[in-house]
């Protein structure tokens, strides 16, 4: 007994000594400088986050010293992301790196644009929204995606800061007025881009709004009351026109609603009912045609239905952690409202059931919690809104998907670069099934799975993912990008050459 106790105490003592001799942990250190001058950036806020299982956990936050240096100690083994922020500069992010590495960050100064919004009489318009935006093709149709915005003050003046250098559209809108794109265009035809330089401030950009001639007031005699189950209600109208259209907020009360200042044309009414914990308990998106005259007593039916079915794997084991969701085919709904008409976790037998699906046209998608080695055979679902459940939907998973991996041939430190794998078929340009946009690792490597077999264009891109899908960029890729063929269940290793825009080559 005494011998056993002595051995135990000796083991405990040795363990304590060994623990005291173990290293306290790894470190991450680096240096921050100003890009244009090369001078060290002191007093800059540096934040460190650890990435685990797709989640981020803040580890620490410090300021650089007078030499621009920083250091984090006592770090556990893992993958980290570093963010660097300073007023007057663009934020920088260094992703996917491990302790023990030195990090160099160069901050670029942000740009500013300012001007004035007035009416036809020359008086300033207060509370107008002014947006700096870029053209986006993410939803198969061109739209303007804001990169910064500001509200005008009482005199109609605005100032937008924190902008990256580049070429932008300037758009303004205000309730009761038609949308205008600089210099004075209702749409992209006649609009002109403004070029912002690093650290520059552009002044004197004046915009003039004209009052909207049509005002719509709609009130429901019922129809929506059956869905009222929360203490607060929300209504917003989005135009189908994603360039010159502007959303309008409405009011709801006792199942009725009213919207003022809508432009004639097609739009989507988004209704939401919010519960006591600020969660959305019900929602509905209803397309309507807006005329030129006021309309009253309009009744809208927010009919929802239930859709159920089963995944077919063709004899393959059912992958883990699957979710079926419905993606609206209407580009305006996906851009404004979001991409989900409902979703359901897939049961172990492959069955699913999606409740409260509003009327509309949807593309059936399947997401996996692990790397996907399949794709979904194209399937469009039409829901006309009756309460009768839709059953027996069969969704086929095709396990002939291939994979592509390699490196992006971009300059060192291009953390914002992406690799694009795009079908050479023009008809598939707007279909996300045949287009993959993936970020790169710190060593510029990439890996893309669930690729539908076929012929593709492969290239690296550093000039904003929102323009991927632009027909002009696609034509340029047809001439300059690398071409590869993905075979059924094939795996390809191919480096992605960088594709530059015409503007970048001219610079």
| Residue pLDDT, tens place only, 66-84 | 999 999 998 888 888 889 9
Out of 298-302, 310-314, 339-343, pick the least confident.
Answer: 298-302
Q: Which residue spans within 53-91 are E strands per DSSP?
A: 55-63, 69-75, 79-85
For every residue of 115-159, DSSP letters joined together read EEEE-TTS-B-TT-EEEEEEEE-TTSS-EEEEEEEEE--TTSEEE
Instruction: Look up the pTM and report it.
Output: 0.69
Task: Say whether pLDDT at 116 is over 90.
Answer: yes
Task: Say if 461 falls within a structural domain.
Answer: yes
Q: How many CB atoms lie within 10 A of CB 115?
A: 21
Out of 8-17, 219-228, 239-248, 348-357, pick the least confident.
Answer: 219-228
Same domain? 125 vs 101: no
Q: Identify the pLDDT of residue 221.
A: 31
Same domain? 377 vs 284: no
Q: Identify the pLDDT of residue 22.
A: 36
Mean pLDDT computed over 393-397: 93
Task: Say whether pLDDT at 21 is over 70.
Answer: no
Whether the link from the prior residue into 345 is cis, omega within 30° of 0, is no
Task: Say if 340 falls within a structural domain.
Answer: yes
Q: Identify the pLDDT of residue 337.
A: 64
Distance CA 298, CA 217 (A): 10
Where residue 119 sits, what CATH number does that domain have?
2.60.40.1120
pLDDT, mean over the chain: 83
Q: Identify the pLDDT of residue 16.
A: 40
Out of 11-25, 53-67, 243-257, 476-490, pick the least confident.
Answer: 11-25
Task: Say if 7 falls within a structural domain.
Answer: no
Mean pLDDT computed over 255-271: 78
Same domain? 94 vs 145: no
Task: Say whether pLDDT at 191 is over 50.
Answer: yes
Q: Identify the pLDDT of residue 503.
A: 67
Percent of the chain with pLDDT over 70: 84
Same domain? 190 vs 167: yes
Out of 206-220, 308-322, 393-407, 433-447, pick the least confident.
Answer: 206-220
Task: Say if 136 falls within a structural domain.
Answer: yes
Same domain? 267 vs 352: no
| Residue pLDDT, tens place only, 400-413 | 999 999 999 998 76
Q: Identify the pLDDT of residue 109.
A: 94
Q: Identify the pLDDT of residue 424.
A: 95
Which CA distances in Å does 140 have to 16, 143, 426? 63, 9, 12
Domain boundary among 158, 176, 208: 208
Same domain? 232 vs 266: yes
Q: Identify the pLDDT of residue 501.
A: 78
Cβ neighbors of 188 (< 8 A, separation 6 or more) are 135, 142, 169, 181, 243
Task: Say whether pLDDT at 202 is over 80.
Answer: yes
Cβ neighbors of 285 (< 8 A, separation 6 or more) are 268, 269, 270, 271, 328, 333, 337, 358, 360
Task: Say whether pLDDT at 169 is over 90.
Answer: yes
Task: Say whether pLDDT at 507 is over 60.
Answer: no
Mean pLDDT computed over 444-455: 94
Mean pLDDT computed over 7-30: 53
Tokens found for residue 40: 């060290």
Out of 83-97, 208-222, 272-286, pick the least confident.
Answer: 208-222
Using CB atoms within 10 Å of the CB of residue 349, give its burial: 0 to 12 exposed, 13 to 18 middle, 19+ buried. Answer: exposed
Task: Say if 347 falls within a structural domain.
Answer: yes
| Top-confidence residue, 246 or 137 | 137
456 three-state secondary structure: strand
Q: Identify the pLDDT of residue 52.
A: 65
Parallel/antiparallel/unpaired status of strands 201-208 and 111-118: parallel
| Residue pLDDT, tens place only, 327-365 | 888 877 777 666 567 889 999 999 999 988 887 889 899
Same domain? 338 vs 353: yes
Q: Identify the pLDDT of residue 225.
A: 41
In the DSSP assignment, the letter for residue 276 is T
- Contact status, residue 417 vs residue 409, Cβ threshold 8 Å: no
pLDDT band with cut points at 50, 70 and 90 for residue 228: very low
Residue 276 domain boundaries:
225-290
Highest mean pLDDT among 68-77, 155-164, 495-504: 155-164
Q: How many CB atoms lie within 10 A of CB 262?
A: 24
Task: Say if 385 falls within a structural domain.
Answer: yes
Mean pLDDT computed over 259-280: 76
Task: Say if 203 falls within a structural domain.
Answer: yes
pLDDT band with cut points at 50, 70 and 90 for residue 279: confident
Q: Identify the pLDDT of residue 301.
A: 65
Cα 457 to chain centroid, rounded? 23
| Top-confidence residue, 344 or 23 | 344
Same domain? 393 vs 406: no
Domain boundary among 156, 183, 208: 208
Same domain? 141 vs 176: yes
Total of domains in the chain: 5
Same domain? 365 vs 414: no
Task: Say whether pLDDT at 15 is over 60.
Answer: no
Q: Identify the pLDDT of residue 7.
A: 40
Same domain? 409 vs 498: yes
Where residue 41 sits, what CATH number does that domain have?
2.60.40.10
Task: Say whether pLDDT at 325 is over 80.
Answer: yes
Same domain? 323 vs 372: yes
Domain boundary among 362, 382, 397: 397
Tell me the sheet residues that pair with 396.
312
| Residue pLDDT, tens place only, 39-54 | 999 999 999 998 765 5
Q: How many CB atoms lie within 10 A of CB 29?
A: 14
Highest mean pLDDT among 126-140, 196-210, 287-301: 196-210
Task: Say if 263 falls within a structural domain.
Answer: yes
For the chain, give percent helix, strand, coil, nearest 5: 10, 50, 40
Distance CA 242, CA 187 (A): 9
Percent of the chain with pLDDT over 90: 43
∠ Cα 222 224 229 (to 5°): 125
């Amino acid at each position: 007994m005494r011998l056993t106790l002595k051995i135990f105490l000796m083991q405990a003592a040795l363990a304590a000594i060994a623990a005291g001799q173990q290293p306290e942990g790894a470190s991450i250190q680096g240096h921050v400088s100003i890009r244009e001058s090369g001078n060290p950036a002191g007093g800059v806020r540096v934040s460190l986050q650890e990435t685990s299982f797709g989640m981020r956990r803040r580890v620490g936050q410090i300021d650089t010293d007078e030499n621009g240096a920083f250091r984090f100690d006592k770090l556990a083994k893992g993958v980290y992301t570093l963010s660097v922020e300073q007023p007057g500069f663009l934020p920088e992010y260094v992703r996917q790196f491990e302790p023990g590495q030195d990090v160099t960050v160069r901050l670029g100064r942000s740009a500013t644009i300012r001007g004035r919004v007035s009416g036809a009489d020359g008086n300033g318009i207060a509370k107008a929204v002014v947006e700096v935006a870029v053209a986006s093709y993410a939803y198969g149709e061109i739209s303007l995606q804001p990169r910064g915005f500001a509200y005008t003050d009482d005199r109609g003046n605005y100032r937008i800061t924190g902008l990256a250098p580049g070429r932008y559209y300037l758009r303004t809108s205000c309730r009761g007025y038609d949308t205008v794109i600089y210099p004075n265009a209702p749409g992209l035809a006649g609009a002109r881009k403004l070029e912002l330089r690093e650290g520059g401030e552009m002044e004197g950009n004046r915009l003039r709004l004209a009052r909207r001639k049509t005002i719509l007031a709609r009130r429901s005699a019922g129809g929506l009351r059956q869905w009222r189950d929360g203490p607060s209600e929300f209504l917003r109208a989005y135009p189908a026109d994603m360039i010159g259209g502007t959303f309008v907020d409405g009011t709801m009360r006792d199942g009725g609603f009213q919207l003022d200042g809508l432009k004639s044309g097609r739009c989507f009414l988004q209704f939401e009912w919010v519960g006591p914990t600020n969660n959305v308990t019900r929602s509905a998106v209803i397309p309507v045609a807006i005329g030129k005259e006021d309309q009253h007593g309009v009744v809208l039916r927010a009919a929802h239905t239930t859709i159920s079915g089963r995944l077919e794997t063709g004899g393959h084991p059912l992958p883990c952690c699957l979710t079926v969701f419905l993606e609206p085919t209407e580009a305006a709904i996906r851009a404004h409202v979001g991409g989900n008409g409902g979703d359901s976790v897939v049961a172990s037998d492959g069955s699913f059931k999606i409740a409260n699906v509003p009327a509309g046209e949807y593309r059936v998608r399947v997401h996996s919690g692990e790397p996907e080695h399949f794709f979904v055979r194209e399937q469009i679902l039409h829901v006309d809104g009756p309460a009768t459940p839709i059953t027996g939907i069969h969704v086929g998973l095709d396990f002939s998907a291939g994979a592509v991996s390699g490196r992006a041939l971009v300059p060192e430190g291009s953390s914002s670069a992406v690799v694009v794998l795009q079908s050479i078929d023009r008809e598939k340009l707007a279909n996300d099934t045949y287009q993959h946009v993936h970020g790169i690792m710190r060593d510029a490597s990439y890996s893309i799975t669930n690729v539908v077999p076929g012929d593709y264009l492969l290239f690296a891109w550093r000039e904003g993912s929102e323009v991927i899908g632009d027909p002009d960029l696609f034509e340029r890729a047809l001439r300059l990008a690398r071409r590869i063929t993905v075979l059924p269940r094939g795996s390809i290793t191919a480096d992605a050459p960088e594709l530059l825009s015409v503007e970048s080559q001219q610079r």
